[in-house]
Amino acid sequence: MKIAVIGQSLFGQEVYKELRKDGHTIVGVFTIPDKDGKADPLATEAEKDGVPVFKFPRWRVKGQAIPEVVDQYARTGAELNVLPFCSQFIPMEVINRPKHGSIIYHPSLLPRHRGASAINWTLIHGDQKGGFTVFWADDGLDTGPILLQRECHVDPDDTVNTIYKRFLFPEGVKGTVEAVKLIAEGKAPRITQPAEGATYECIQKKDNAKIDWNQTAEALHNWIRGNDKVPGAWAEVDGQKVTFYGSSLLDNGAAATGQPLEIPGASRPAVVTKSGLVLFGNDGKSLLVRNLQFEDGKMISAAQYFSSGSSAAVELTEEEGRFAEQMRAVWQSILSNVSCIEDATDFFKAGAASMDVVRLVEEVKLRASSCQLQNEDVYMNTTFQDFIQMCVRKLRGEDGEEELVVHYVEKDINNMSVKMPHQLFINGEFVDAEGGKTYKSINPTDGLPICEVSLAQISDVDKAVAAAKEAFEEGEWGKMNPRDRGRLIYRLADLMEEHQEELATIEAMDSGAVYTLALKTHVGMSIQTFRYFAGWCDKIQGSTIPINQARPNRNLTFTKKEPIGVCAIVIPWNYPLMMLAWKTAACLAAGNTVVLKPAQVTPLTALKFAELAARAGLPKGVVNILPGSGALVGQRLSDHPDVRKLGFTGSTEIGKQIMKSCAVSNVKKVSLELGGKSPLIIFSDCDMDKAVRMGMSSVFFNKGENCIAAGRLFVEETIHDQFVKKVVEEVKKMKIGDPLDRSTDHGPQNHKAHLDKLVEYCQTGVKEGATLVCGGRQVQRAGFFFEPTVFTDVRDQMFIAREESFGPVMIISKFKSGEVDQVLRRANDTEYGLASGVFTRDISKALYVSEKLNAGTVFINTYNKTDVAAPFGGFKQSGFGKDLGQEALNEYLKTKAVTIEY
């Protein structure tokens, strides 16, 4: 079919391209004249293909068609006119001339909204349904018969831009091309538009877009989003015309903390907050506006209303100067009509359009990947000088974001000055708990307070969850390119490495971890974990699945892996930072947001982590840290309806309670890493020196405060006495003392209550008749020190043979030579199944034992060898779900199956 395309814009360009792909002959393209020396995209595309292009400034004068224009059109011999997007009035002599007439794309479900601003009115009226129409042109205003319609749901915070990008543009192109296909096949309907329900509202011009404040918050929101970006809803503020952009409704009763701003006619003063400008309707409800534009065209973040223009220009370094010149060349290539790009050159006044904004943002990414711009950044910095200043500030990490305010507790210790945040971290800020409630964090080395820490209350939990939910659903984190998300997580790992000595010192003070171990494992593995999962961000993918039973069998099924949403993480006190990293890194890599409760007795590295996360550039609300009690904070997270996943490491008893609460509340997804009584079987054909060394590590590593610690050693009787003797000799060499002393082997237990339980545990073992070979006592000094302890002659039914000590207590039992299956039955005779181990030189025996041991991890001729790439988790009452490795991502993802019939 011979088609004349009459229109303009990228939309017109895409329709033109698709029509050519379908084999139609485009006999002419009629578009608007060049603007500021730049051709319209439709004209550019057609000229490239050698198609005749006509750029009439107008088609009629004083209501009469211009004969020469109509004559030039007529010579194309078009059989159909397609008007994909047309801002000019086309005379009926042209509309009716082709044998198939003319069809027009219209961004509305006719006749609901007619006119050039139909899509604006869809939003202004708060319609929940929108869409587009392809109709047959007549001499009325969008009143011709309907050929084809497609509809979509309109979300409460949709704007013209979002609904256009999501539906009206891509589906509109397809719909227009499909309409042409129906015409070519002789199947195109002509459905007369009903008079009932038909509207024709005015074209939205700037003068008509003034805000009437005597409306509800929802009506105000609809008016602002309906006029965003053109023509822009405005009001008089401080004697000047200010235009409002980026509106969203706020929850009822949302507190607005900030500086009041009087707006004439408003029911109450607006509030300039850290998130933007909060406005109020006459119903007392509120909405948030994120950007403002002044009469001179300058756009700012609404949060900066009282501080805009106050920052001085930054002086560029030599490298930044080279970047500026690269960007000057980019501007020159985009604004080809401008002879020279000066500092005062205005991007839009020089003729740039919305597509040029997209190109500019992408050009910046190519030259400086760490400078992640949004389209709004260009709109708010329209001159070249302002644009470069904005880019440089972003590259320096000084991009106008409000400076992170941290009230540190500072200590000069371990040959350094340690700075420790001690408040809750909610929505990107360190804040006091409700009512200013605090508690003391105690140093287990001397039993003295380190500092006062904010104690989270239920209302604080609700605020943190709300912040995490908004960051996931509305914030940039949920919309961020996975690769960019990975870069931020990797930047966080870099910052942790820069602060590794400080983190290890805080860990030693707060948990009693030996500094050298904290540096290598507590902190070192945490850094490795974040780096590992940063690499997974852009590699999360689903699969395609053949479905064979469906009829007809032209089907395609594929799966998508999607983030869950707000995730709660509750971690224990033995590895405060590492347990945070194991769960949080996978959670963030999957695209979720997190509310994390550290153990009440060890909150300080989690709070330091929060500071580093903010400085790495993680958006507000993505990470929230709430020190507090498990009974209050942990329980509220388990019960909260907006939390969709909870990851927990801790005791089996608490894990059961959490699982029940998660089920009753909203059936939230759960992963549990719980208690352990891990068996270690040592055969007589082992490497004795290695078995002694690794056997001691399996029990005494990290003071025995280790979830996978070997809770019971089964030693073959022929080497039992020799093994015990060697262990005792090594135990007596261990130095107990200050964890910051580099020669210390064994630091204090984490807290007083745990120390008391260890004393009671060992007393029970003695009462039951086990032989206490060494240790078993509290060390008489300031702090919570307990001796490395060894028990032998332990029978299977004893308390200490079945219950976890979670401390430096080695439990040794004999087994007879040749009784492999019997010792396996004894090793598996426990409700726990977290880890296990075997020492033997016989590889067949080792593999047989590893197959029969009922535990999530089996170590052969080694122990405690965890790695960020290897999944970690237990069986039975040691829990379910995995930390680390690719499998950990599945704990924080949901799988969606999509089936298409074609």
For residue 501, give the H/E element and its range: helix 500-511
Q: Is 719 annotated as a binding residue?
A: no
pLDDT (tens digit, 9 = 90+) per residue, 456-470?
999 999 999 999 999
What SS3 state is found at 265? coil
2-185 architecture in CATH?
A: 3-Layer(aba) Sandwich (3.40)
Q: Is 234 annotated as a binding residue?
A: no
Q: Is 630 annotated as a binding residue?
A: yes
Residue 222 banded pLDDT, cuts 50, 70, 90: very high
What does the pLDDT read at residue 448? 96
Annotation: CATH topology of 318-396: 1.10.1200
Question: Pick from 854, 809, 595: which is nearest to 713 by CA?
Answer: 809
Q: What angle do CA 674, 676, 679 make, to 5 degrees?
A: 155
Rounded distance between C-alpha atoms, residue 618 and residue 397, angstroms: 12
What does the pLDDT read at residue 399? 57
Residue 499 is given by DSSP the state T
Rounded distance between C-alpha atoms, residue 531 and residue 546, angstroms: 35
Q: Is 631 annotated as a binding residue?
A: yes
- The residue assigned the tokens 């075997």 is 838
Chain-centroid distance, C-alpha 192: 48
Side by side, the strands of the sheet bearing 678-682 are: 771-774, 789-792, 809-815, 710-716, 678-682, 835-839, 857-860
* Strand partners for 249: 287
Contacts (Cβ under 8 Å, ≥6 apart) of 147: 103, 134, 135, 136, 179, 182, 183, 188, 189, 190, 191
- The residue assigned the tokens 């020279």 is 340
Rounded distance between C-alpha atoms, residue 618 and residue 614, angstroms: 5
Q: Is 612 annotated as a binding residue?
A: no
Residue 639 banded pLDDT, cuts 50, 70, 90: very high
Rounded distance between C-alpha atoms, residue 838 and residue 327, angstroms: 62
505 Rama sector, left if φ>0, alpha if ψ -120 to 50, beta otherwise = alpha
Least trusted range by pLDDT, from 108-117, 208-217, 375-384, 809-818? 375-384
What does the pLDDT read at residue 811? 98
Chain-centroid distance, C-alpha 900: 29
Contacts (Cβ under 8 Å, ≥6 apart) of 677: 711, 712, 802, 803, 804, 830, 832
Q: Is 113 a catalytic residue?
A: no
Rounded distance between C-alpha atoms, residue 695 and residue 236, angstroms: 76
Rounded distance between C-alpha atoms, residue 327 and residue 224, angstroms: 33
Is the CATH code 3.10.25.10 the one for domain 206-304? yes
Selected from 3.40.605.10, 3.40.50.720, 3.40.50.300, 2.20.25.90, the CATH number assigned to the domain covering 408-673 reads 3.40.605.10
What does the pLDDT read at residue 308? 58
| CA-to-CA dists, residue 526 to 598, 609, 802, angstroms | 15, 11, 31
Q: Is 598 annotated as a binding residue?
A: yes
Residue 362 banded pLDDT, cuts 50, 70, 90: confident
For the packed helices 604-615 and 500-511, what is the interaxial angle rounded to 10 degrees?
160
User: Dihedrals φ, ψ of 613, to 5°?
Assistant: -60, -40
Beta strands in 115-239 (DSSP E): 129-136, 146-153, 233-237
What does the pLDDT read at residue 895? 97
Residues 715/682, Cβ–Cβ less than 8 Å: yes
Residue 364 banded pLDDT, cuts 50, 70, 90: confident
Rounded distance between C-alpha atoms, residue 156 and residue 794, angstroms: 66
Residue 253 is given by DSSP the state T
CB count within 10 Å of CB 854 equals 17
* Strand partners for 712: 679
Averaged pLDDT, 336-359? 85
Rounded distance between C-alpha atoms, residue 37 and residue 54, angstroms: 16
Q: Is 629 annotated as a binding residue?
A: no
Is 401's pLDDT higher than 80? no
Is 369's pLDDT higher than 90? no
Residue 881 is given by DSSP the state S
Choice among 707, 716, 720, 891 that is catalytic: 707
pLDDT (tens digit, 9 = 90+) per residue, 436-445?
999 999 999 9
What does the pLDDT read at residue 634? 97
Q: Is 749 annotated as a binding residue?
A: no
Residue 164 is given by DSSP the state I
Contacts (Cβ under 8 Å, ≥6 apart) of 170: none
Q: Is 263 annotated as a binding residue?
A: no
Rounded distance between C-alpha atoms, residue 576 and residue 506, angstroms: 10
Single-letter code of the amino acid located at 497: E
What SS3 state is found at 532? helix
User: Dihedrals φ, ψ of 466, to 5°?
Assistant: -60, -40
Is 868's pLDDT higher than 60? yes
Q: Is 804 annotated as a binding residue?
A: yes
What does the pLDDT read at residue 434? 95
- This prediction's pTM: 0.65
Q: Is 93 a catalytic residue?
A: no
* Strand partners for 412: 417
Q: Is 743 annotated as a binding residue?
A: no
Is 400's pLDDT higher than 80? no
679-870 architecture in CATH?
A: 3-Layer(aba) Sandwich (3.40)
| Burial class of residue 537 in the structure, from the number of CB atoms within 10 Å of its CB (0-12 exposed, 13-18 middle, 19+ buried) | buried
What does the pLDDT read at residue 312? 61
Averaged pLDDT, 723-743? 96
What does the pLDDT read at residue 675? 93
Q: Work out whether strand 429-431 and strand 438-443 pair parallel, antiparallel, or are unpaired.
A: unpaired
* Strand partners for 451: 441
User: Dihedrals φ, ψ of 774, to 5°?
Assistant: -160, 160
What does the pLDDT read at residue 187? 96
Listed in sequence order, the DSSP H helices in 740-854 are: 752-767, 799-802, 820-828, 843-852
What does the pLDDT read at residue 398? 64
User: Dihedrals φ, ψ of 512, to 5°?
Assistant: 85, 10
Q: Is 634 annotated as a binding residue?
A: yes
Q: Is 878 annotated as a binding residue?
A: no
Give the chain's mean pLDDT.
93
| CA-to-CA dists, residue 839 to 728, 835, 870, angstroms | 19, 14, 21
Rounded distance between C-alpha atoms, residue 434 and residue 827, angstroms: 49
Q: Cα torsion for 132, 137, 141, 145, to the nearest 10°? A: -70
What are the extents of the domains in the chain?
2-185, 206-304, 318-396, 408-673, 679-870
* Strand partners for 593: 566
pLDDT (tens digit, 9 = 90+) per residue, 253-266?
456 778 899 999 99
Rounded distance between C-alpha atoms, residue 827 and residue 834, angstroms: 12
Is 647's pLDDT higher than 60? yes
Q: What angle do CA 141, 144, 149 make, to 5 degrees?
A: 105
110-123 core/surface letters (b: 16 or more CB in 10 A; e: else)? bbbbbbebbbbbbb
| CA-to-CA dists, residue 359 to 297, 354, 378, angstroms | 21, 9, 11
Token reading at 557: 């099924």
Choice among 106, 221, 640, 754 that is catalytic: 106
Query: Does residue 275 or residue 331 have the better pLDDT?
Result: 331
CB count within 10 Å of CB 140 equals 10
| Burial class of residue 817 in the structure, from the number of CB atoms within 10 Å of its CB (0-12 exposed, 13-18 middle, 19+ buried) | exposed
Is 251's pLDDT higher than 80? no
CB count within 10 Å of CB 237 equals 19
Query: Does residue 386 or residue 439 have the better pLDDT?
Result: 439
Q: Is 686 a catalytic residue?
A: no
Question: Pick from 18, 29, 20: which is nearest to 1 by CA?
Answer: 20
Token reading at 371: 């400078």
Is 309's pLDDT higher than 60? no
Q: Is 651 annotated as a binding residue?
A: yes
Rounded distance between C-alpha atoms, residue 94 and residue 78, angstroms: 10
Residue 115 banded pLDDT, cuts 50, 70, 90: confident
Choice among 507, 611, 673, 716 that is catalytic: 673
First to last CA, the chain: 26
Residue 597 is given by DSSP the state E
Rounded distance between C-alpha atoms, residue 802 and residue 798, angstroms: 7
What does the pLDDT read at residue 252? 60
Share of the chain above pLDDT 90, in %: 77
Question: Pick from 33, 96, 98, 89: which is nearest to 63 by CA?
Answer: 89
pLDDT (tens digit, 9 = 90+) per residue, 23-58?
999 999 999 998 877 888 999 999 999 999 999 999
| Burial class of residue 14 in the structure, from the number of CB atoms within 10 Å of its CB (0-12 exposed, 13-18 middle, 19+ buried) | buried
For residue 68, give the H/E element and its range: helix 67-74
Rounded distance between C-alpha atoms, residue 872 and residue 422, angstroms: 31
Rounded distance between C-alpha atoms, residue 399 and residue 391, angstroms: 8
pLDDT (tens digit, 9 = 90+) per residue, 492-540?
999 999 999 999 999 999 999 999 999 999 999 999 999 999 999 999 9
Q: Work out whether strand 286-293 and strand 299-301 pair parallel, antiparallel, or are unpaired.
A: antiparallel
CB count within 10 Å of CB 793 equals 13
Rounded distance between C-alpha atoms, residue 19 and residue 14, angstroms: 9
Chain-centroid distance, C-alpha 273: 23
